[in-house]
Amino acid sequence: MINSFGKIFIAMRVFFWAPGRKRQPNFNIIFLWLGSIAIMPGHTSQEKEGPSSIVHVIEVESIITPVSAQFIINSIEKAESEGAHCLIIELDTPGGLLESTRQITKRFLAAEIPIVVYVSPQGSRAASAGVFIAYAAHVAAMAPSTNIGAAHPVNIQGGVDTSSVMNDKVTNDAVAQVKALAEKRGRNIEWAEKAVRESVSITEQEALDLNVIDFISPSIDSLLSQIDGMEVEVASGETVLKTQNVRIVYRHMNFRYKILEKISNPNVAYILMMLGFYGLFFELSNPGAIFPGVVGAVCLILAFFALQVLPINYAGLLLILVAIVLFIMEVKITSFGLLTIGGIVAMLLGSLMLIEQPPDNFAPVISISITLIITVVALTAAFFIFAFGMAFKTHRKKITTGNEGMVGKNGVAQSKISPEGNVKVHGEIWKATSDILIKKGDRVRIVSVENLVLKVEKAN
């Protein structure tokens, strides 16, 4: 098609070539060139400023923690800065922390591009925190054989009464939040409240029938076809999704996020911390070994890196440190096992208290396995008890070297000892003294050694 610029150039060309006018060769060349460009089909300025042909896709297959929340938020910012038309989040989560979930939903509401939450692949779920994330999205879809629901907050701290009151507060706050999201996105408010209060869970077909989600899609391609032409409201106003023939760009967690996600598992963080303490202990016990110190330092750095995203109870961490100190003191000081017992009790209590279960959790997923705690405490106790036993045996063992090692050994008098003489011990001739008369050839036993002179007595 000829655009408006093309029409102008053609009109000017006709004017200069009008009959009776003197031809202008230079202008002819210029206008022919400009006119050919103007007549060529191309993008109008409106088309150039139109929607991007790129769609970003990320995968979140984990507990909703500060790590996954930061990854999602950064992915939204990346998609916005690169001009992506929308961001699709393939979600599979059992739940997570309410505060991390709130950060995600707040960013969804402030997004400049449409956010599509897709519960996928088949067999996945959007449980607990996943319900809030799906409700906050501009478009919510599920793959076949998936489910959504069970969003009741869980609190396992405090006494019965305190826990009940706190749980009611958290539940009411969660209900208010999910109802606000449902109203904002035009989804089923009644079911959202039931999911929080009664922990109901439904399949993808039930979710579609109840207006919990917008589509059931077996794949990303089918989802892009279904949402094409859909009108949604982003932070800057209404926009229409144009997802036909778009280029899909998959964004994955970088190395930092992957490492932090793996070690932020409470069990992994706990193991790394204990290995770090053991490494430093062995390095201090055997200066110059280097390897235990290096391994211990690396493990401790990784553990503290992970603990910064976990709800740590510093009283529990302090008890573990006290336990390590008590174990070290047991090796250095003979307490007949009292320090070891104190260290075992301190380590057990500290390990149980280390991860502080937050009161705003959608599921009891942030905790250390009790089996792991008992195993680590038992192994630690066994090691230090073994070390204490070996040290105790060493202290009680008879000295066999040096002057002290001569005490108790038997020899033969090489001369009369009254009070001095010579004795033969292990083929060596020693000066000897005795309080009683010892004849030459009598067997003697060494009582003590002083200034290389043996004090002996007759051997029985």
List residues with catalytic annotation.
128, 169
What secondary structure, in 3-state letters, does the chain show?
CCCHHHHHHHHHHHHHCCCCCCCCHHHHHHHHHHHHHHHCCCCCHHHHCCCCCEEEEEEECCCECHHHHHHHHHHHHHHHHCCCCEEEEEECECCEEHHHHHHHHHHHHCCCCCEEEEECCCCCEEECHHHHHHHHCCEEEECCCCEEECCCCECCCCCHHHHHHHHHHHHHHHHHHHHHHHHHHCCCHHHHHHHHHCCCEEEHHHHHHCCCCCEECCCHHHHHHHHCCCEEEECCEEEECCCCCCEEEEECCCHHHHHHHHHCCHHHHHHHHHHHHHHHHHHHHCCCCCHHHHHHHHHHHHHHHHHCCCCECHHHHHHHHHHHHHHHHHHHCCCCCHHHHHHHHHHHHHHHHHECCCCCECCCCCCCCHHHHHHHHHHHHHHHHHHHHHHHHHHHCCCCCCCHHHCCCEEEECCCECCEEEEEECCEEEEEECCCCECCCCEEEEEEEECCEEEEEECC
Closest CA to 352 of 330, 375, 331, 369: 369
Six-digit token string for 242: 């144009």
CA gap 335, 197 in Å, rounded = 55
